[in-house]
Amino acid sequence: MNTTHYPSQVVFESPETHTLSVIVDNEPGVLARVVGLFSGRGYNIESLTVSETEHEAHLSRITIVTTGTPMVIEQIKNQLARLVPVHRVVDLTVNGRVLARELALIKVKGKGDARVEALRLADAFRARVVDATTESFVFEITGKTDKIDEFVGLMGPLGLVEYSRTGVAAIARGPEPM
Amino acid sequence: MSRQMTGAEMVITALQDQGVEVLFGYPGGSVLPIYDEIFKQEKIRHVLVRHEQGAVHAAEGYARSTGKVGAVLVTSGPGATNAVTGLADALMDSIPVVCITGQVPTHLIGNDAFQECDTVGITRPCTKHNWLVKSIDDLPRILHEAFHVAKSGRPGPVVIDIPKDVQFATGTYVGPKNISHKTYRPKIKGDMEAIRKAVEMIGKAHRPVFYTGGGVINSGPAASQLLRELVKTTGFPITSTLMGLGAFPAEHEQFLGMLGMHGTLEANMAMHESDLIVCVGARFDDRITGRLDAFAPLAKKIHIDIDPSSINKIIKVDVPIVGDVAHVLEDMIRVWKQTQPEVDKKALDKWWKKIDSWRARKCLAYRGSDEIIKPQYAIQRLYELTKKKDVYITTEVGQHQMWAAQFFKFDEPNRWMTSGGLGTMGYGIPAAVGVQMAHPKSLVIDIAGEASVMMTMQEISTAVQYRLPIKIFILNNHYMGMVRQWQELLHGGRYSESYSEALPDFVKLADAFGGVGIRCDKPADLDAAILEMIDTPKPVIFDCIVDPAENCFPMIPSGKAHNEMLFGDMVEDIGSVIDEKGKMLV
């Protein structure tokens, strides 16, 4: 029951997940502006990565995976574009030619059969061993988000200790820049 | 022009180069070098406020009544945090303000130094943009960039946080050039394809209405002129938001009055039953739309706005036009003249007949009295007795604000200063100070409530110091009237904490501040008292004792549609209009 003074939210559309690429000036506070915008306006962030991409031009690229109705996604893009240090906002999902990858480091501890099984699965998922002791491995895996989810899920019963993920980096297919 | 100077000198030089004549501020440890430069010059007049919130509201009043950028100077820590309400207010109402804050020296930032706060962090969500200047080399560029960002596109407040060591440092000053910002480039001209489509739709409409807002005022006087031309050419009805009052003359027969929660029946019904809404510089705010799924169900919508993020935010529109109102209207009028669309006169006549039937309901009617001053009557008399004068109105927030919007008629833009988006009680007195600074010879009246006045009344002292003869016209009903009204309608008449107990004697208060106090509690004495107020060449507090039980109608209760309005003359006991279930739902 709505007991506020404000009209209840009217939802006409179902939510979609979009991957946005945002080119920003690499200046202090720019990430805080982007993150503050999302928290302040109640938008979702599923993944956010940021790194300087053009050192000479002081440009950084922020990749954001977010979920919302088409109207909310349009708002997010417009609100991002309104920030003064933002150069461009491109919705990579719109043309459907998005390449998205993330990297994860996964620590697994175990002996005997579990250890062998973990190594076999790692091979199947093309994960590399980047650190090993007699009772542990650290795997490095890259791929789409769901592939990494899958691999982490499989490691669970085989002695998963902890893991660290980079979040999504994304780019459009084909020869053209965004 | 480039020459060597200190950071503090740069601040004052840049303000002068940007055409700033009045600076509202309050000194403190972190801005002393800048205050020293103020002391050494005479071009910029500094107005010493009594609280930093007042400085920003005064700058807003100055900006809104002149179309120029308002300038503010405050110290670090509490100076900056006190300014936050004003900045949030300016952001919500798109008012151009440049606020310079002092900061502790760069080597102390992050050390919890005395009067340190994370000013850029705190003001980030309540400014259009902000800067922490860490090097003297960046200062001149940022100062000019700040003015550019504040006044261009959709205007708004900006903050420049300047550490004290940067104010002392020496560097090369560069004057303002025609800067082309590397990322910030607001779109001014509307898309011609969309404009042609819009004109075509306007030509074919049978039940059209113009819905206009603060964007018309912000776009400048030309926008108001063009709007008048377009509205008169088409013969369409026009309504305005609270922020847009004055863009179109209120006494004109095509004007339906304000729309929204306390708008007129004719304006809201015209929106509800229209087949085309032409939204010009307004943003479909929740006070306007009411229940979203019942908002203008039959209407196609054209939306002109300079801010792309205003479009399709709340209401999906059919033809969005991103651009400055004046530019877009100019193009629309040109296309209209070229294409000469054939308006369906018969349909339009029928539409006006329908509107006249709503007008005949006289939704603003109230029960008059010989015994006690009705607040609506007070505003009507204030309007009648001042309308031939050069008058500017500011308001506080609450019932009096809505009555002022309903009963005071504006002919021109930039005459009406009110806190629309944020709804800041205490806005009116400092805003009036700012307006009077810009227009020393004009009559500046703050239409106020006794509760709002208590929030920023220290600025009366500012008015006295600078001999600003502002008039504070208090509709004193001894209640936070709008709170009381909602409690009556929605909370069973349990008036929790909304009674203004222990009010000061406003006449003595005016006297204590060095102004003039006038009290009036009889309708028969009101005209003479208002005339006395107008003729007093000093700040005046007018304590107008009004009916404490009066409610502000018409009203669309929150969450209701435009055709579900409440009227003052519906029933004796308004508390019974909304049933128990409705009270829970609203």
Q: How many domains does chain A have?
A: 2
Q: What is the pLDDT of residue A1?
A: 41
Nearest to A74 by CA among B293, B322, B94, B326: B322
Average pLDDT over residues B511-521: 98
Say if A7 is an interface residue toward chain B (CB within 8 Å). Answer: yes
Average pLDDT over residues A162-178: 93
Model confidence over A128-151: pLDDT tens digits? 999 999 999 999 999 999 999 999
Using pLDDT thresholds of 50, 70 and 90, give the confidence band for residue A7. Answer: low
- Which residues are within 8 A (CB) of B380 and not within 5 positions of it... i.e. 6 or more apart? B407
Nearest to A118 by CA among A87, A175, A66, A163: A163
Whether residues A66 and A122 share a domain: the answer is no
> B-chain residues within 8 Å CB-CB of A58?
none
Model confidence over B77-133: pLDDT tens digits? 999 999 999 999 999 999 999 999 999 999 999 999 999 999 999 999 999 999 999
Average pLDDT over residues B418-445: 98
Whether residues A112 and A159 share a domain: the answer is yes
Q: What is the pLDDT of residue A4?
A: 58
State which residues form the domain around A68.
Answer: 16-91
Whether residues A102 and A87 share a domain: the answer is no
Mapping DSSP to helix (H, G, I), strand (E, B) and coil, where does residue B352 land?
helix
Model confidence over B15-30: pLDDT tens digits? 999 999 999 999 999 9
Q: Do A7 and B132 touch (CB under 8 A)?
A: no
Model confidence over A109-130: pLDDT tens digits? 999 999 999 999 999 999 999 9
In a domain, A48, yes or no: yes
Angle at B182 between CA B177 and CA B184, to 5 degrees: 95
Residue that terminates a domain, selected from A37, A69, A91? A91
Using pLDDT thresholds of 50, 70 and 90, give the confidence band for residue B278. Answer: very high
Cβ proximity of A22 and A61 under 8 Å: yes
Range from A10-24, B290-304, B393-407 carrying the lowest mean pLDDT: A10-24
| A6 has a pLDDT exceeding 90 | no
Model confidence over B560-572: pLDDT tens digits? 888 889 888 775 5
A10: nearest CB among B129, B181, B293: B293
Please spell the DSSP secondary structure of B193-216, one letter per residue. HHHHHHHHHHHH-SSEEEEE-HHH
Full strand arrangement of the beta sheet holding B516-520: B416-417, B391-395, B443-449, B471-476, B540-545, B516-520
Which domains occur in chain B, in start order?
2-174 (3.40.50.970), 192-359 (3.40.50.1220), 375-545 (3.40.50.970)
Whether residues A115 and A140 share a domain: the answer is yes
In a domain, A76, yes or no: yes
Q: Do B183 and A6 touch (CB under 8 A)?
A: no
Angle at B215 between CA A70 and CA B447, to 5 degrees: 120
| B586 has a pLDDT exceeding 50 | no
Average pLDDT over residues A145-160: 97
Whether residues A77 and A144 share a domain: the answer is no
Cβ proximity of B301 and B284 under 8 Å: no
Around Cβ A25, how many Cβ atoms within 10 Å?
16
Model confidence over B176-219: pLDDT tens digits? 986 678 889 899 999 999 999 999 999 999 999 999 999 999 99
Residue that terminates a domain, selected from A43, A66, A91? A91
Residue that terminates a domain, selected from A56, A91, A126? A91
Whether residues A59 and A107 share a domain: the answer is no
In a domain, A87, yes or no: yes
Chain B residues within 8 Å of chain A (Cβ atoms): 120-121, 124-125, 128-129, 132, 134, 149, 181-184, 286, 289-293, 307-309, 311-313, 316, 486, 558-559, 584-586
Using pLDDT thresholds of 50, 70 and 90, give the confidence band for residue A2. Answer: very low
Say if A70 is an interface residue toward chain B (CB within 8 Å). Answer: no
Active site residue B164: yes
Whether residues A25 and A68 share a domain: the answer is yes
Q: What is the pLDDT of residue B355?
A: 98
Model confidence over B465-484: pLDDT tens digits? 999 999 999 999 999 999 99
B125: nearest CB among A40, A74, A84: A40
Q: Do A85 and B121 touch (CB under 8 A)?
A: no
Say if A8 is an interface residue toward chain B (CB within 8 Å). Answer: yes
Q: What is the pLDDT of residue A40?
A: 95
Q: What is the pLDDT of residue A10?
A: 62
Whether residues A102 and A74 share a domain: the answer is no
Using pLDDT thresholds of 50, 70 and 90, give the confidence band for residue B282. Answer: very high
> B-chain residues within 8 Å CB-CB of A28?
132, 134
| B581 has a pLDDT exceeding 90 | no
Average pLDDT over residues B384-395: 97
Cβ proximity of B116 and B105 under 8 Å: no
| B339 has a pLDDT exceeding 90 | yes
In a domain, A7, yes or no: no
Using pLDDT thresholds of 50, 70 and 90, give the confidence band for residue B577. Answer: low
CATH number of the domain enclosing A114? 3.30.70.1150
Model confidence over B137-159: pLDDT tens digits? 999 999 999 999 999 999 999 99
Cβ proximity of A152 and A127 under 8 Å: no
Active site residue B114: yes
CA B545 to chain centre: 26
Q: What is the pLDDT of residue B569?
A: 75
A79: nearest CB among B132, B309, B586: B309
| B2 has a pLDDT exceeding 50 | yes
Whether residues A84 and A110 share a domain: the answer is no
Active site residue B16: no
Reported ipTM: 0.89
Q: Do A75 and B313 touch (CB under 8 A)?
A: yes
In a domain, A122, yes or no: yes
Using pLDDT thresholds of 50, 70 and 90, give the confidence band for residue A5. Answer: low
Q: Do A71 and B312 touch (CB under 8 A)?
A: yes
Q: Do A84 and B311 touch (CB under 8 A)?
A: no
Whether residues A63 and A116 share a domain: the answer is no
3-state secondary structure B247-271: CCCCCCCCEEEECCCCCCHHHHHHH
Residue B371 identity (one-letter amino acid): E
In percent, how much of chain B has pLDDT > 90?
91
Q: Which of A75, A88, A89, A91 to mutate to test the interface with B (most CBs of B within 10 A)?
A: A75
Cβ proximity of B73 and B100 under 8 Å: yes
Cβ proximity of B329 and B230 under 8 Å: yes
Whether residues A51 and A102 share a domain: the answer is no
d(CA B224, CA B217): 7
CATH number of the domain enclosing A53? 3.30.70.260
**In this structure, what token pair is assigned to residue B393?**
């109105």
In a domain, A109, yes or no: yes
Gap from A82 CA to chain B (nearest CA, Å)? 8
Q: Do B183 and A84 touch (CB under 8 A)?
A: yes
Q: Do B183 and A85 touch (CB under 8 A)?
A: yes
Whether residues A102 and A161 share a domain: the answer is yes
